[in-house]
């Protein structure tokens, strides 16, 4: 097995309080048991299923998360507008126009070398429509590669085609491209020819007996009647989904990629 590598754990969309509690409980365990060097989570659904607050971000960072990525719900909780400029470890998508609060990428030092994280958002069937994530990726990666060859990309997008296209586009220029947003873990983990690890969607960290983390009865009511209705977060055991990627710190190429999926039952 590879000995000299950086091991990154990426966890998919955290859904509401159940997802938060499970992630906060399990991240320290994952770091110890799986010898993880760097933890990234997508937190854009962590506040009641829509957005993230400064308090939630602080709780996630305190439990051992290194960087938090987001997506189309980044602005749903108003306090993040003032919080993002103060916390560079919480990212928003790179393809927002210049002048939008916060930053889209970060490079952090670890004992094994520097690690960069980049947050992108797709355009197909996504709102609000943003600038091209491909052009935004070009700009950010050119700058980041001056600091590190290890770059992990969260591609927050609706369609599999746009995520795969991004993975192919960045193959050989970044270490990993992992998709978020659709909440269902895909079965296509692989390493592309240029050395970039890829997974179309990491899945979610949210209630397992649900529809994408929401109460099934409410979702079914909407589908059957077409009437608007609240979508409360479901209850019960949480499925924690994500992926572990091993990366050569010298070349930035991925050495291994392994999806993660487990059930977490909170102790009574």
Annotated active-site residue in 2, 73, 156, 221: 73
Which is it for the CA torsion 143, 148, 149, 150, positive or negative? Answer: negative
Q: For residues 225 and 217, give the distance between their C-alpha atoms in angstroms, rounded to a whole number.
A: 12
Q: What are the Cα distances from residue 164, in Å, to 53, 135, 161, 171, 201? A: 30, 16, 5, 10, 10
Q: For residues 18 and 29, give the distance between their C-alpha atoms in angstroms, rounded to a whole number.
A: 17
Q: For residues 90 and 10, give the distance between their C-alpha atoms in angstroms, rounded to a whole number.
A: 14
Give the count of beta carbons closer than 10 Å to the beta carbon of residue 203: 24
Q: Which residues contact 46 (CB under 8 A, 6 or more apart)?
A: 14, 15, 16, 19, 20, 52, 56, 60
73 is catalytic: yes
Catalytic site residues?
73
């Amino acid at each position: 097995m590879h000995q000299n590598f950086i091991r990154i754990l990426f966890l998919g969309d955290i859904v509401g309080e159940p997802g938060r509690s499970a992630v906060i409980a399990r991240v320290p365990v994952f770091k110890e048991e799986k010898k993880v060097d760097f933890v990234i989570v997508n937190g854009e659904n962590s506040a009641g299923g829509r957005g993230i607050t400064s308090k939630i971000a602080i709780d996630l960072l305190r439990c051992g998360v290194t960087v938090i990525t987001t997506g189309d719900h980044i602005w749903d909780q108003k306090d993040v507008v003032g919080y993002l400029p103060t916390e560079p470890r919480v990212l928003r998508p790179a393809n927002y126009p210049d002048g939008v609060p916060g930053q889209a990428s970060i490079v952090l030092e670890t004992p094994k070398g520097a690690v960069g994280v980049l947050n992108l958002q797709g355009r197909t069937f996504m709102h609000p429509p943003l600038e091209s994530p491909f052009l935004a990726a070009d700009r950010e990666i050119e700058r980041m590669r001056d600091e590190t060859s290890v770059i992990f990309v969260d591609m927050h997008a609706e369609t599999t085609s746009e995520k795969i296209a991004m993975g192919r586009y960045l193959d050989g220029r970044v270490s990993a491209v992992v998709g978020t947003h659709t909440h269902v873990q895909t079965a296509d983990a692989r390493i592309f020819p240029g050395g970039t690890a890829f997974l179309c969607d990491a899945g979610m960290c949210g209630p397992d007996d649900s529809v994408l983390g929401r109460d099934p009865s409410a979702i079914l009511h909407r589908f059957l009647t077409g009437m608007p209705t609240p979508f409360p977060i479901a209850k019960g055991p949480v499925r924690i989904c994500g992926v572990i990627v091993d990366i050569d710190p010298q070349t930035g190429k991925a050495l291994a990629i392994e999806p993660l999926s487990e059930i977490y039952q909170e102790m009574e």
